[in-house]
Structure 1
Amino acid sequence: MDVSARADYAVRALLVLAEDAEDGPVHPAEQLARRAGVPAKFLEAILADLRRAGFVTSQRGSGGGYRLARDPADIPLGAVLRAVDGPLAEVRGIRPHETSYSGAAEHLATVWVAARAALREVLDETTLADVLRGELPEHVRAMAAAPDAWRGR
């Protein structure tokens, strides 16, 4: 899995907004970029995608900026990645379940579908609130704690 810069920046910006969600301040894009540690120009386009997906709202004017449109517990990471990058997993530009092989690779499509399912198991079941609190789902913590989870391959 390769998490794009867009996806990483989107999640980091949303985490800043989630951190302040209770008092609901509006964050100008430049301030949000600075707090999230992401390039401001790059973040502008990402925020437009997040607004279209219904994760943030924007307010124009001198006091304008962005805020979360939903509770952080209702925003799974997988949905954020899809909003900025499209499907979680593709093979040659098509979805894993649409692949078809013959001969020696006949069962490869099943592997690609399983890989997508593993991504979904982590990303669709982990929310912004989980990450912010550091209270990740048990199965995610177990996967990350596995002895070979950090092995560089």
Structure 2
Amino acid sequence: MRISARADYAVRAALQLAAAAPTGPLTAEAIASAQAIPHKFLEGILNDMRRGGIVLSQRGLNGGYRLARAPEAISIADVVRVVDGPLVSVQGLRPPELSYDGPAASLLTLWVALRANVREILEGVSLADVVSGSLPEAVAALAADPAAWSNP
């Protein structure tokens, strides 16, 4: 699985908004500066996030962007799906749309299992979890394994 720059930037922008939620909207410029995201690229991402119901935009002197729901109610998966589509795809298709024959027949089961694990992690972690640094135990346990940090 590959996390695109677009998805990474979207999650970072959403986290910045989650951290600022009590103080009001943030401008795209403020988010871009705080997270070192190219401003023009971020504008497109924020528009996708607005259309996808993750953020709301407000015009005017005190305008900017804010989360459309509480940070606890927005998962990392929600943000990634809005900007990149399905969490796991194979050649641009969702696993249930695939079929394999012969020795590759059970490959579909592998892709579905991969998707289930990705969903379990990304749907199980909210913006609030990441901002607070309090990740679910299962996620923390996976990351605690030293092998998780190395590239074979």
Cα deviation for residue 61 of structure 1 reads 2.5
Across the aligned residues of Structure 1 and Structure 2, the Cα RMSD in angstroms comes to 1.0
Other-structure match for 1:11? 11
Cα deviation 1:28-74 (Å, max 9, x = unaligned): 11111111221100000000011111111111123321111110000
What is the Cα deviation at residue 138 of structure 1? 0.7
Instruction: Report the equivalent of 1:106.
Output: 105
The one-letter amino acid of 1:11's match is V
Counterpart-to-counterpart distance in 2, 1:109 and 1:52:
32
1:95-118 CA distances to partner (integer Å, 9 max, x unpaired)?
112211111101000000001111
Structure 1 residue 129: Cα displacement: 0.4
Contact 2:76 2:123 in 1 (8 A): yes
- Aligned AA (1:21): A
Partners of 1:30 and 1:13 in 2: how far apart?
11
Aligned to 2:57, what secondary structure does the other structure show? strand
Q: Which has the higher helix share?
A: 2
Once superposed, which parts of structure 1, at least 4 consecutive aligned residues long, lie more than 3 Å away? none
* Within-5 A mapping of 1:4-153: 4-23=4-23, 25-153=24-152
Matched, 1:2 2:11: no
What TM-score does the superposition give when structure 2 sets the normalisation length? 0.96
Cα distance in 2 between the residues matched to 1:21 and 1:64: 13
Matched residue count: 152
Partner amino acid for 2:10?
A
Consecutive unaligned residues of structure 1, counting only runs of 5 or more, are none
CA distance in 1, matches of 2:63, 2:122: 31
Return the alpha-carbon distance in structure 2 between the equivalents of residues 21 and 134 of structure 1.
Answer: 16
- Point out the more displaced range, 129-138 or 141-150: 141-150
Q: Distance in 2 between matches of 1:147 and 1:85?
A: 29
SS of residue matched to 2:22: coil
2:129 maps to amino acid: D
Native 8 Å contact 1:97 1:112 kept in 2:
no
- Partner amino acid, structure 1, of 2:17: L
**Cα separation, 2, equivalents of 1:78 and 1:8:** 11
